[in-house]
Amino acid sequence: MIVSIGSDHAGYPLKAKVVEILEANRVEIIDHGSYTPDPVDFPDIARLVCNSVRSNQASRGIMVCGTGVGASIAANKIPGIRAAVCHDIHSAYQCVEHDDVNIMCIGAKIVGEWLAKDLIEAFIKAEFSTEEHFRRRVRKLELIELDSAKELRAKLSDF
């Protein structure tokens, strides 16, 4: 499995631990930064992580910011991305099993490294369910995305 990771400055200290946890689980990592504790805007890193998942360079992504919230907002604006803030283990695996989440967002100010380990292991080991009702709901999410893109396209055609 290949996982893309990224953080802003607030998530930077925990990202080192994320690398360690993924390596211990024999996961290949694509690291999109931040590489220093200097301030960086989470949308810029989220774009890199999500684009590598969209283009199938990685099958999943993990983003770390202060709360996980900003990263998830940014990620969910990118077509094909289903991102979730996960600070409990149940959500970390059910978000994949039920909702086919491909980006997990963690808040470095919220969780410690031991909980981060459990969250990451739950997320990477989970698989999307084959049950039809979950698949139908994800197709409906894709339809919402498609409708929004069509609305935007219609608006832009006025220019």
Ligand X SMILES: O=C(CO)[C@H](O)[C@H](O)COP(=O)(O)O
Minimum CB–partner distance for residue 74 and ligand X (Å): 9
Minimum CB–partner distance for residue 69 and ligand X (Å): 4
Is 9 among the catalytic positions? no
Give dist(CA 81, CA 49) in Å, integer: 10
3-state secondary structure of 100: coil
- Catalytic, out of 9, 32, 50, 65: 65
Q: How many CB atoms lie within 10 A of CB 144?
A: 9
Strands 2-7 and 28-31: parallel
Give dist(CA 51, CA 84) in Å, integer: 16
Stretch that binds ligand X, among 18-26, 65-73, 81-89, 149-157 (CB under 6 A): 65-73
Indicate which single residue of 3, 6, 8, 81 sits in contact with ligand X (rule: CB under 6 A): 8
Is 65 among the catalytic positions? yes
**One-letter amino acid of 150:** K
Indicate which single residue of 19, 69, 89, 115 sits in contact with ligand X (rule: CB under 6 A): 69
Stretch that binds ligand X, among 66-74, 93-101, 125-133, 149-157 (CB under 6 A): 66-74
Strands 28-31 and 60-65: unpaired
- Burial bucket for residue 95 (CB in 10 Å: 0-12, 13-18, 19+): buried
Indicate which single residue of 10, 84, 95, 116 sits in contact with ligand X (rule: CB under 6 A): 10
Indicate which single residue of 42, 58, 75, 95 sits in contact with ligand X (rule: CB under 6 A): 42
Residues annotated as part of the active site: 65, 98
Residues that bind ligand X (CB under 6 A): 8, 10, 39, 42, 65-67, 69-70
